[in-house]
Chain A
Amino acid sequence: MLSPELGRFALALACSLAVAQFVLPLTGAWRRDPRLMATAPALAFGQLACLALSFVCLAAAAIGDDFSVANIAENSAIAKPLLYKITGIWGNHEGSILLWSLILALCGGAVAWFGRTLPSTLQARVLGVLGGTAAGFELFCLFTSNPFDRVWPAPVDGHGMNPLLQDPGLAFHPPILYAGYVGFAVPFAFAVAALMEGRVDAAWGRWVRPWAVAAWCFLTCGIALGSWWSYYVLGWGGYWFWDPVENASLLPWLTGTALVHSAIVVEKREALKVWTVLLAIGTFSLSLSGTFLVRSGILNSVHSFANDPTRGVFILGLLALVIGSALLLFAIRAPKLSAGGTFAPLSREGALVMNNILLCAICAVVLTGTMYPPFASLLFGSAISVGKPFFDATAAPMALPLLAAMAIGPMLPWKRAQLAPVLARLWWAGLLAGIVGLAAARGLKGVLPIVAFVLGVWVIAASAASLLQRIGHRRGTAFRDSLHRARMLPRAVFGAALAHAGAGVTVIGLAAMSDASHAIVAVHTGDSVQLAGYRWTLTGLADAAGPNYRARVATIEVRRHDHLVTVLHPSRRDFASQNQTTSEVAIHTNGMADLYAVLGDEHDSGPGKDNEHTAILRLHYNPLAPWMWLGALIMAIGGALSLSDRRVRVGAPRRARNAVAVPAE
């Protein structure tokens, strides 16, 4: 029933519907033909249904071990656990492009469903642009990355999945990350539609922002999950390596964060319109280019992906069409958009402009560092690599003023502000940051981490201060009054404060990690090592068997002042079918620090001494490491909270409309 051929047919049908979704509504909006415009939601739903069917077919082939499908044969095996048979669908190029298309279709379906209150021409144009983009990706899937290709002769068992991908964290990483990447297609489509309409107003800002916030939440979680994965799976003891693939997700996050903020200015003050439209186009363009760079093999990365120039040429053509036509439209129409409200440099708008400038400057620096090596290689024929020191040295100094301003910005009034009264309300936050910072300074090495730590505390304290100010809590206010005001406060206010505090938590974690210590030691069973005030003892080495691998497990007892803190079991796994070995890191966390152990190679000490093994251990002490990802989670929760605000929800005016009897159109 659910054959690969049916899946391929459904994919082709989805592609045809996407083309129709591109042509009919846009023609309708142009000719002011309501019947043509009305086709858009139905086509979006149809495209979504077809892609869902196609995805189910691939899932059926993966679960049913159909190794006559090349994609399954290369990435699956009979012995693989069921969960990874399912998540393995997107663990490879072909499947992940199908997932990408499915999420894009989901976005279209969501706009069709939640956007029923949009003006009909705007909705038709947004869905038309989404349809065109989807058609491009579905064509890419059909022509160069068909996940349903058969292989002959079919192998008896599959090659198996890359063992590094056989991990729950990474299994759910792509859907979340893609939801973030692809989610920015909606603000992009809104931007292009607005350029076609020739009008950007407060209502436009109000429609765009929830979509941007939702995509931003997913992207934040996706990036954090990726960083967490590289921390506990790769076993290098670090969390961010400025790898091109990591940068590819950071770039749209930076511009997306700027977009989420600048859309507020459009919504509240009708200013920064042209800039916001450009950010919406730019953010999705960076999402697309990231995919392109990773998939085409132009960038050198530790992440292995198919290195195929043919695919690269196809994606490049797709990029040229999507980004090129959007930017061309921008060049033609943007100068005609009316300019908005004026404001003094020191104001809420001014603070948001500064946020935008700094975020985009960081983005430009990271983009330069990422793109310089391939372009230097192309232009000058020299192989160079831009590493962590460059990014750390350039991005950090711009992140610090961003943090400093982030605390003050939300307290400034619109249009024109004065700094003194705001600082007067924040004195205790500054004092707290100073005291905590000085306390931390004794433990931290280097000026930059200390400044970052202080600013992290400052951001959290100032977020709390801004909430207290909004609920009018000061000496003399009755607690009941404050509680009442807190209940009446829009959830978006809490969301923003929470997101800012989350950024502070992440920064504190990053700063503290500069004080991490590690040791690489060769030890016999029974030997002890001192690290960061802990006594680490290797008490045993043993063999174990897993479902599709053999494991070597070490037992390490960690004591502090002769008191047993934890027993760690790092291991090494041999996957025979792929000739690959992975390290399973052992991590013990108490929330304030991670104890982290990796088992390396083992050597015989000499002839005739069978039990005189030495094992290489890598031991890390990572202070406040969990805070980095906790902060990202708090940021995403803050975003979700502000999405749940009734005023922000796109469907909010619906109740009013439904209350009035709607005559037949």
Chain B
Amino acid sequence: MMPPGSLLSRRRVLTIAPLAGAAAVGVGFWAMLAGMGRGSFDPHDIHAPALNRQVPPFALPDQAPGHGFSSADLGAATAPLLVNFFASWCIPCVIEAPLLISLKGRLPVWGIAYKDRPDDAAGFVTRTGSPYARLAADRPGLTAIDWGVSGVPESFLIRPGGTIAWHTAGPLTQEIIDRQVLPLAAELRR
């Protein structure tokens, strides 16, 4: 049996310190990752668009085979809707497309083709089957800059009245749709 005093000898405390320090840092990392998963912690929020603000003013031309829209259209919306920036040259958008199509019955999806040739974007939408109720083209990518889009795909959930309720960069997954998008949209409808 070890005498109780030696359990906390100076040497022992010193050798436990690295473990304790690493554990504390690990718990911090875990909290950050959990927050990132829930969407409540974003270390990149310097670039994130301002949540809960009105969408920036814009008016975009039609993108075949749909009708374009403007910030006024979003402001006039009476139900929540999802705005999705995409491009035909983006592989994650290909992967995301079937999810958007299955989503469109439960939540309107409006699309903005980002820095894309009109023919390419039209071909992409026709091939995969369009999930988009309205479809606009942002060829110079300037509207995307105002929205704070850093790449495609990116999706924004818009409240009735045209404020941004939620945002994600990167492709939507079934998990994001089930855990975040649909519950929030249901809440906004009430």
Contacts and interface: CB of A to CB of B under 8 A. Distances in A.
A282 B18 contact: yes
Contacts of A70: 91, 95
A320 B26 contact: yes
Nearest to B37: A309
Given A324-B19, A324-B22, A378 B35 contact: yes
Nearest to B88: A155
Interface string B6-28: 00010110011011001101101
Interface string B83-96: 00000011110110
- Interface residue tally on B, bucketed by range: 20 to 34
The secondary-structure label for the interface of chain B is helix
B11 A73 contact: no
Given A151-B95, A307-B169, A323-B22, A377 B15 contact: no
A378 B22 contact: no
B26 A155 contact: no
A581 to B, nearest CB: 12
Contacts of B91: 70, 73-74, 151, 155, 159
A299 interface: yes
A215 B89 CA distance: 40
Contact of B31 (A74, A371, A378, A578): A378
Nearest to B48: A383
Interface stretch (B39-47, B68-76, B157-165, B180-188): B39-47
Contacts of A371: 25
The secondary-structure label for the interface of chain A is helix
Interface string B104-115: 000000000001
A307 B150 CA distance: 13
Given A371-B25, A378-B35, A578-B89, A151 B44 contact: no
Interface in B58-81: none
- Interface residue tally on A, bucketed by range: 35 or more
A373 interface: yes
A440 interface: no
B145 interface: no
A652 B42 CA distance: 53
Contacts of B46: 300, 383, 385
Interface of A: 70, 73-74, 151, 153, 155, 159, 274, 278, 281-282, 285, 292, 296-300, 307-310, 312-313, 316, 319-320, 323-324, 327-328, 330-331, 334-335, 371, 373-375, 377-378, 383, 385, 577-579
A-B pairs with the 4 shortest C-beta distances?
A: A327-B19, A309-B36, A334-B15, A331-B16
12 contacts: A292-B29, A297-B43, A298-B33, A300-B46, A307-B170, A309-B33, A316-B30, A319-B26, A324-B19, A335-B15, A377-B41, A377-B43
